[in-house]
Structure 1
């Protein structure tokens, strides 16, 4: 177990580099990597189950104590990013399937690695965890409606089928993991150190498979789409911080909102695109997964060297 934990710690530290390496493998060995795509939903389900195992009922206490801050964050998450995805995709003149892929990224809940980034950035970890948890639990209901509203005129969107997909690969695994952690805490405690390894490997495989299935598209539209993804993530980080500033949150809360709004569950976006559209629609999710982990690491490094004005606010953000 010690060796496995050391490996898990290593992949956790080098998450962004490993995701980038997975994308490069997908480009170098496209036919082999493409064979992963039928298993994307299963991989995401495993990742979400691991996320549920890492959660506790105590993580939701901030919702009861400071509902205003959590509500502000979740509203920002489900308005800023979907609208940015739609607007940027059209501004860059992307084809319909990539437009849908950008909207799917924006309409997905918070990213699975955002809590770690917030912690490293000296942000409000409790608020970050609450936002990720609440947005994930709301995803089956909100994500299909947002995609239908923003992409329904571009491609045929079945909100009902998408709801069932998110229910199966996100909500049920997360709730199952949470219940197992709650009622079999001692059993789960032994495997908690290994969860980062499972999550990282799962996301790397998803990125590898999606990039491999779209290797030709990456070579032809990759630069333009890459710029669109960078703009999406960068504006999300900036606007998330500004929403926290406008909501009069302390610096730790602003950092949490910035990361939570800017980092999305791009694995879910890729999975939904693969299941309900064509593989090309999954490409924005794969590229976003590569980029937001690189930018998240950079943001964490920047803020880690700049302590918030009031360290006491770090774990608890008052309502706006």
Structure 2
């Protein structure tokens, strides 16, 4: 039985890698741009924002760690709401999640290793247990136990809603006293600034002439860049960096969910980024029309 499970996991992993390879060969830019935005531009942005706001050492490492994790699964739903490229979102989230086993500990050690000691190997092991094993189990069940999956399908939207609410609410509840402290309240502006810039950076980097993407892909890359697995960051911060370092991910998980879904609804209702000035200043829109 164990051999069958291991063999199935290996086969599914090879199939997924093969799918990524096909996409890269057919249209290499969207996935590459999204991956670079996720693991190159966003970690740099996290360090820049933390230093620009003079963030205390109590929260610095946890804030930077939040910028180094994979894209959130919720970004796929946001891409659907925004009328973006859902297939690209799923593939980008899956590939960054798989890569997180190696990339997140590497980036964390590189960016905050001089501030807080980071056990990269132990962090990789923890990510493997928390993220990849459940995903692999889900893929195995979906491939070899269709009857079970079909039986559970009707209740899964409700389960997903409850789990999402718990993932957003539990970090706040656990870190409530620290968030409401004087130092915790000072995190609000850095967290909001980070996410606004991440959404913006993800969108505009895909509009650079040399990397220019279709509007659907640009929306997806923006949402995947601005919405990251803050719950995973909180778990890693608590386990490896100390309980106070889990406060920035706790604030981030709420900010990225609300801001990401609002942005997705904005796009989904037919609005565009370039329409924002005319909505904020109606007189400006009237003047342009005249």
User: Quick check: TM above 0.5?
Assistant: yes
**2:46 and 2:140 mapped to 1: Cα distance?**
34
Query: Residue 120 of structure 2: which of 159, 162, 174 is its match?
Result: 159
**2:163 and 2:91 mapped to 1: Cα distance?**
23
2:42 aligned with 1:78: no
2:195 aligned with 1:233: yes
Shift in Å at residue 223 of structure 1? 2.9
The alignment's C-alpha RMSD in Å is: 2.1
Q: 1:240–1:258: 8 Å Cα contact kept in structure 2?
A: yes
**1:260 and 1:70 mapped to 2: Cα distance?**
11
Larger radius of gyration: 2
Partner of 2:233: 269
Query: Residue 290 of structure 1: which of 236, 242, 254 is its match?
Result: 254
What is the TM-score normalised by the length of structure 2? 0.81
* CA 1:71–1:296: 2 relative to 1, 3 Å: same
Shift in Å at residue 193 of structure 1? 4.0
What is the TM-score normalised by the length of structure 1? 0.74
Q: Secondary structure at the match of 1:191?
A: helix
Q: 1:207–1:289: 8 Å Cα contact kept in structure 2?
A: yes
Shift in Å at residue 64 of structure 1? 5.4
Q: Secondary structure at the match of 2:54?
A: coil
The more displaced of 296-305 and 59-68 is: 59-68
Higher relative contact order (CA 8 A, sep 6+): 1
**1:151 and 1:199 mapped to 2: Cα distance?**
33
Q: 2:234–2:249: 8 Å Cα contact kept in structure 1?
A: yes
State how many pairs are aligned.
253
* CA 1:83–1:93: 2 relative to 1, 3 Å: same
The unaligned stretches of length 5 or more in structure 2 are 1-14, 273-290
Partner of 1:67: 28
**2:102 and 2:213 mapped to 1: Cα distance?**
28
